[in-house]
Amino acid sequence: MQIGGMGGGVLGVPDARRILAVGLLVSVARWLEMLVVGVVVWQQTQSAFLVAMMTLLRLLPMGLFGAFLGVAADRVQRRAALLAMLAVQVATASVLGGLALAGVLDAWHLAVASFVGGFVWAADNPVRRMMLGEVVGAARMARAISLDVVVNNASRIAGPAVGGTLLAAFGLGPAFLVCALFYGFAGAVALRLDFRSEIAPRRAGVWRDMRDSFGLVLRTPGMAGVMVVTLIFNVFGWPLSSMIPVIGQERLGLGAEGVGLIAAMDGIGALLGAALLVPLVRPAWYRNIYAGGTALYCGLFAVFALMPHALPAALALLLVGIGNAGFAAMQATLVYTTAPPEMRSRALGVLSACIGLGLVGFLHLGAMANWLGAPAATVLIGAEGVLALVLTRRLWRG
């Protein structure tokens, strides 16, 4: 049975609903965890560089292993891989909670946990989102991914807000244990999946398949431009989100709860933007929405960093979120619909590798923030992102 309206038939597929629910629960836990880590590291070290490094460690596995995971995902049962990913996250968050309650949690524990979480995050595109595409079909992929962005960005409202409140009221241990609880709920939903992916025959070695994956990007018309915009967003755009706790506390004078609330504005904007995309998006608009969302994200983050008061800063983050929705909804959609069907998982693996190269952006941001301060560095790097889009216009419009 299919249903019309906002979901475009996607929500009429039971396994699609389950995959979307897994994404929602995991994203709530991830954003809650990232906010708590950012606030705690800033309070302990007063170093914007170290705050950025924690997010960099989440990206490092994407850059190192993204292409490998795209190949590996074709060689395993994706449902089993998803369950294993969630079990790792439950264990990691539980250990952090236990260490915090024992009073022995240190920065290096958070660094290791961030790296482990990044490895699982790197597998999301070739595992969970690939399953979503297989369940709903290519014709409904754009609406399915837009819905995924809707539910995931709803978590960007809940995650930071819940994280700030928990941290202020109960401390580190309960905050991390709530993360583990969300990951566990996601695992329970994943267990109900009926879908079983086909395991691709092993015609060549893993390294050769990885090389062919990058060759696919260069050979497929339009694919290189998609990856270029991904690189721009992740080098010049996404790292700026790690500065919200720093700017919120240092420039705006907010506490942990206030930082959580202002960070949630990004999620509210992304939720609104993605909700508009679900019924309105058309294939002819995909690339313009993709690049335009990136420009809005980078430009409005620069505006956010210039705001002297919480209210206009929150409004700027609301618009940042709308830009993020346009980028996020079109990213996996363009890769999935552009790549040949038999190469989609590998192409999504290359996409994860390009996302992982955003670690360069976090290094750049961390160094600039230590030199110029978080607000000035955010303004400068946001402007660099907009300029990079202008300079590469011929590629991504193709």
Q: Which residue has the higher pLDDT, 87 or 265?
A: 87
Expressed in angstroms, the distance from the first to the final Cα of the chain is: 37
Could you read off the pLDDT of 253-304 as tens digits, one per residue?
A: 787 777 777 877 887 887 788 777 766 667 777 888 889 999 999 999 999 9
What distance in Å separates the CA atoms of residue 90 and residue 92, rounded to the nearest whole number? 6
Q: Is the pTM of this model over 0.85?
A: no
* CATH number, domain 12-194+205-396: 1.20.1250.20
Could you read off the pLDDT of 250-264 as tens digits, one per residue?
A: 788 787 777 777 877
What distance in Å separates the CA atoms of residue 190 and residue 5, rounded to the nearest whole number? 26
Q: Which residue has the higher pLDDT, 47 or 160?
A: 47
Angle, helix 310-338 to helix 141-169, in steps of 10 degrees: 140
Contact 81, 73 (CB under 8 A): yes
* Cα 81 to chain centroid, rounded: 19
* Cα 308 to chain centroid, rounded: 28
Give Cα separations from 32 to 100, 172, 263 (angstroms): 16, 11, 11
